[in-house]
């Protein structure tokens, strides 16, 4: 940083003028989400490649068929519940962002709390499912489920399942933490003093991305 250079015109764009009409943080959030999309995409494509390269594969309807309190025999039911929890929490997040635009603090707080509850509910569901699968003998490097045609399966299925849903669950967890921080900042009037709730919008982008990833994970692991 030589002091002799002229300081009137900055050499690099520093967010002063917005070429995309979004503030700096939001643009950076989009960039981060794009890179994160490539990370998840790489995971899912690795899963798909392995599945295409393997002769047999476990039937998801035989693996994921338990519901808490009901026992086995209910394929797709529990994962439908998880999917709807995440969609609804995404909706409450949109409502929180919208309330932020209108500077309605109370509505922001209510919707953020609902979003956090949704996130925690999803994490609890996932914790139950992982515990249940673990009790059946499934874990990284251990696959008790045979292929759909009855042949012996490799551990690829459980390895990919736990890695990808684990990575997604970690994103949900960080999203809940971010939303809790947003809630605290709202309650302490940080955004009121700033005059805008744009920070909620960035947290919202992250939260919707988590929901978006689940759409893909849900389809690739449970449906197809």
Q: What residues from 103 to 162 belong to the interface with another protein (CB under 8 A)?
A: 128, 131-132, 135-136, 144, 146-153
CB within 8 Å of 30: residues ≥ 6 apart = 22, 205
> Minimum Å distance from CB 15 to another protein?
6
Of 55, 106, 141, 193, the one binding another protein by CB under 8 A: 55
> Minimum Å distance from CB 22 to another protein?
7
Of 28, 87, 181, 184, the one binding another protein by CB under 8 A: 87
Contact of 200 with 190, CB cutoff 8 Å: no
4 or 125: CB nearest another protein: 125
Contact of 213 with 205, CB cutoff 8 Å: no
Question: Given the structure tokens 């499912």, which residue do they identify?
Answer: 129
> Minimum Å distance from CB 105 to another protein?
16
CA nearest neighbour of 204 among 96, 84, 109: 96
Q: Is 29 helix (H, G, I), strand (E, B) or coil?
A: helix
Stretch that binds another protein, among 104-112, 113-121, 174-182, 200-208 (CB under 8 A): 200-208
Angle, to 10 degrees, between the axis of helix 156-187 and the axis of helix 105-135? 160
Q: Is 215 in the site for another protein (CB under 8 A)?
A: yes
> Minimum Å distance from CB 4 to another protein?
26
Q: What residues from 7 to 46 belong to the interface with another protein (CB under 8 A)?
A: 15-16, 18-25, 27, 30, 34, 37-38, 41-42, 45-46
37 or 117: CB nearest another protein: 37
3 or 210: CB nearest another protein: 210
Q: How far is CA 142 from CA 5, 62, 146, 162, 220, in A?
A: 62, 17, 12, 11, 20
Q: What residues from 167 to 186 belong to the interface with another protein (CB under 8 A)?
A: none
The residue count for the chain: 224
Contact of 78 with 125, CB cutoff 8 Å: yes
């Amino acid at each position: 940083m030589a002091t002799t250079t002229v300081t009137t015109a900055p050499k690099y764009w520093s967010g002063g003028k917005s070429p995309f009409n979004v503030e700096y943080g939001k643009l950076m959030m989009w960039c981060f989400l794009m890179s994160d999309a490539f990370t998840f995409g790489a995971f899912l494509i690795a899963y798909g490649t392995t599945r295409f390269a393997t002769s047999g594969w476990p039937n998801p309807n035989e693996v994921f068929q338990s519901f808490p309190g009901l026992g086995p025999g209910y394929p797709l039911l529990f994962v439908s519940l998880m999917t709807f929890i995440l969609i609804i929490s995404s909706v409450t997040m949109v409502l929180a962002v919208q309330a932020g635009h209108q500077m309605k603090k109370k509505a922001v707080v209510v919707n953020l709390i609902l979003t956090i509850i949704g996130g925690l509910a999803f994490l609890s569901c996932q914790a139950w499912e992982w515990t249940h699968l673990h009790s059946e003998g499934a874990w990284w490097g251990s696959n008790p489920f045979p292929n759909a045609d009855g042949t012996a399966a490799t551990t690829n299925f459980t390895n990919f399942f736990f890695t990808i849903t684990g990575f997604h669950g970690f994103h949900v967890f960080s999203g809940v933490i971010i939303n809790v921080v947003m809630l605290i900042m709202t309650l302490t009037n940080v955004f009121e003093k700033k005059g805008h709730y744009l920070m909620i919008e960035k947290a919202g982008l992250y939260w919707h991305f988590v929901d978006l990833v689940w759409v893909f994970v849900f389809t690739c692991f449970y449906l197809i």
